[in-house]
Amino acid sequence: MDEELLFRLLIVAIFSLFAAIRIRYRIPAGKRERDKYEPSRLALWVLSLGIIVYFVCLILYALYVPIILWFSLPLPSLVRWLGVLVAALFNPILYWIHSTLDKQYSADLSIKDDHNLIEVGPYQKVRHPMYTVFMVFTFSIAIITTNLLCIVCSLLISGSFPSIAKSEEAMLIETFGDEYRSYMERTGRFLPPLRFTD
């Protein structure tokens, strides 16, 4: 089989699993009533633009529409295979995050009546592991495509998450107060904190 065709098929397979995990938890979350908190309009605009162009690039790449070749980068196969490995490994991590949140997951920034602060599983060391997954996953898929426009869009998507995380943290501080402030001191925003011992 042609390697380029294999990469296209792998992207479809890996992204389909990613989408299935998201849909499995997002549909029930969308049915619940919530109080809404909004991140900055600029962050939402950048995120929306990045996602739209990113998906258009992926569709054009998967269908092998010639116009997408204009943005191709000469990345070695080894780098692309590393992208396949990382993207595939982040699907079970996404499932772990969603299953840890379970019914507390919501598709927007919101607090429910029975909301609890989750500090177990992937949330034990990282406050926003789902955003980390989104950033790494979208970049890994973009690397597989070797498409410059897709890579730039993945960076735009990633660039919006610090602002969204800041809004979410303000909401959680308002809800949980010192409990959340203490949690922030023990955890990293997107990666586990670096702890150096004497």
Task: Please report, in tens digits, the pLDDT of each residue of the chain (198 residues total).
Answer: 789 999 999 999 999 999 999 888 877 665 544 445 666 778 888 888 899 999 999 999 888 888 888 888 999 999 999 999 999 999 999 999 999 988 777 776 766 667 788 899 999 999 999 999 999 999 999 999 999 999 999 999 999 999 999 988 988 898 889 999 999 999 999 999 876 554
Count H helices and E strands in the chain, helices first.
6, 2
In a domain, 198, yes or no: no
CA dist 57 and 59 (Å) reads: 5
Q: Residue 38's pLDDT is what?
A: 65
**Number of domains the chain contains:** 1
CA dist 14 and 85 (Å) reads: 10
In a domain, 196, yes or no: no
In a domain, 87, yes or no: yes
The answer to whether the beta carbons of residues 21 and 99 sit under 8 Å apart is no
* Tokens coding 94: 């996404």
In a domain, 19, yes or no: yes
The whole domain housing 152 covers: 3-186
In a domain, 146, yes or no: yes
Q: Tokens 């730039």 correspond to what residue?
A: 152
The answer to whether the beta carbons of residues 134 and 157 sit under 8 Å apart is yes
The residue among 6, 33, 29, 18 whose CA lies nearest residue 112 is: 33
CATH code of 175's domain? 1.20.120.1630
In a domain, 8, yes or no: yes
